[in-house]
Chains A and B, each alone.
Chain A
Amino acid sequence: MTAPLDLGLRAQAAAIAAGEIDPGELLDDALARIEQRNPALNAVVETFPERSREMLAAAPQGPLHGVPVVIKDEWPLPWRAERFGAAELTVPTAPGESGPYRALRDAGATIVGVGNMHELGAGSTGNTSCYGAARNPWDTERCPGGSSSGPAASAAARLVAGAVGADGLGSVRFPAAYCGLTGLKPTFGRSAMEGHHMAPITTLIVSGPLCADAADCRLLASVLFGEELATGEASSLRIGVIRDTVSEDVTPEVAAACEAAIEQLRAETGGEVREIALPDLEAATLAAILLINSESMSGTTPAQLNDLDPELSPVARGTLKYRMLIPAAALAQANLVRTLMRRRLAALFTEVDVIAWPTIPAPAPPLEEPLVELPAGTSSADQANVRGGALANLTGIPAISMPVGLSEEGLPLALQLQAAWGQDGLLLDAAEALERANGRRWVEALPPLATQAEPTEA
């Protein structure tokens, strides 16, 4: 019999609503599983059983009534200020009711823990954090992805069935890809962001769900959006593919898995694959990097940079100081590139419904040295990953990552789909179509750590 905690998000919610699962027992199970599995993962950096029980006791009969979830260390909770994975933030933080907290609370969910994250959200690997590196449940010597490392590792190891992450350059999609999950980067502004220390200034970051499959992501996204994302049918899908670095400088097994998935998606939807061109992707990637780096420095003074917490990593300290030197002319240029790419995408989305390319060019690299071997040569995972992630954040469009295979070493591979503004539902429909096409093989694949037997009571 399947343990309640191994059910998906919607199955847990349905079983609780039907009286088949006691939500108090489910919460206790989640806490016990965190105690059992988290030491190998460092995915959850804090639990607060009494607060969780208080949330459950007051939980309304919403769509996630009694369902335990993890939230990234990127938003405040009423009893805890976010730390953003860092020893210090240069902006003030305090406990409070953030947008994602309110959305989860009002849906009846129980926040069972805070998820680890890459320090300052500034990496795609999750190997650097004030809490120590998070680890990938598929191979604990590998990166779980970042910056939403803890939420992804939590959901992949089935500590919880759903987690809330944030995505500024791919930070939901990369860890979803590394950990074999489905992860949605919503259309800009559509998901709850209030309370995030960058919410008033960011033009790139959104909250987003990480779950095993697309239907669970739809449920959690609906909660974060404050509106139900109805299930539709992705039919006659016009799939745009781009022959460029982002789809070609990838490992052979990533290329093969993504090409196979695109063909499965085409066949399942009775659609077609069209080759399209989207020039200047490199400029778009740099524009997004410059914009998020400069936005992150809003409110930071030189004096603060002269008094940084010594516990902040050397990379973070140097990077923060370098960000102050980015020329204003480059930011103005970045905004023009953003406009250019938005117009090009608007035109492209009259020709295709989705644009497909690999989420990550290579599977999860080692924690110790996160390098990837690509046809063009050895690269840092961060440099290689951002090529596929930044466009959606720069332009505001939604994107989804879904598992499409395993590497020879048993690590997840992933395909990304991007759609026009507001077409988040279409991406979920397409992801569900792909799951049907491959018999849900990859969304039901479990990492070794998630198949551990529960300890039995003496």
Chain B
Amino acid sequence: MDDTSPADQFIPAGLAALEIEADEIDLAVMGAVHELLWPPLLELLAFDTHAVEPERRADLSRAPE
């Protein structure tokens, strides 16, 4: 069974693709952030927004039209 966590793959791959260097401490922090952020991020990606019509030229100082 593969016991590699998604962070073990995602973070090094992402950093390598962007040519961003990271030491062990950076990786530990990124892993912790990933553990917190990634599950809800996946939920957000799965959130059904098909019925939401995008707001064109949204003015955040006012109610949506």
A interface residue numbers (CB < 8 A to B): 187-190, 203, 280, 282-283, 286-287, 289-290, 302, 305-306, 314-315, 317-319, 321-322, 324-327, 329-330, 333-340, 342-343, 345-346, 349, 383, 395-396, 420-422
B26 touches A318 (CB 8 A): yes
A283 touches B33 (CB 8 A): no
- Picked from A305, A318, A329, A334, the residue with its CB within 8 Å of the CB of B28 is A318
- Chain A hits for B25, CB < 8 A: 314, 317-318
B33 touches A322 (CB 8 A): yes
Contacts between the two chains (Cβ within 8 Å), count: 118
- Chain A hits for B11, CB < 8 A: 322, 325
Give Cα A319–Cα B54 distance, bound, in whole angstroms: 30
- Chain A hits for B43, CB < 8 A: 282-283, 286
- Chain B hits for A282, CB < 8 A: 40, 43
A421-B61 contact, Cβ under 8 Å, with A329-B45, A339-B55: yes
Answer whether residue B49 sits at the interface, using C-beta atoms and an 8 A cutoff: yes
- Chain B hits for A318, CB < 8 A: 22, 25-30, 32-33
A189 touches B60 (CB 8 A): yes
Question: What count of chain B residues pass the 8 Å CB interface test?
Answer: 37
CB distance from B63 to the nearest CB of A (A): 5
A335-B54 contact, Cβ under 8 Å, with A286-B40, A314-B26, A421-B61: yes
Q: How does the 8 Å CB contact mask read for B28-57 relative to A, with 1 for contact and 0 for none?
A: 111011101100110111010100111100
B20 touches A286 (CB 8 A): no
B34 touches A306 (CB 8 A): no
- Chain B hits for A315, CB < 8 A: 29
Give the nearest-CB partner of A339 in chain B: B55
Answer whether residue B1 sits at the interface, using C-beta atoms and an 8 A cutoff: no
Give Cα A337–Cα B43 distance, bound, in whole angstroms: 12
29 contacts between A and B (CB under 8 A): A188-B61, A189-B61, A280-B47, A282-B43, A286-B37, A286-B44, A289-B37, A302-B18, A302-B19, A321-B20, A321-B22, A322-B37, A324-B14, A324-B18, A325-B11, A325-B18, A330-B41, A334-B44, A336-B54, A337-B49, A337-B52, A338-B58, A339-B54, A339-B64, A345-B63, A346-B63, A396-B61, A421-B61, A422-B61
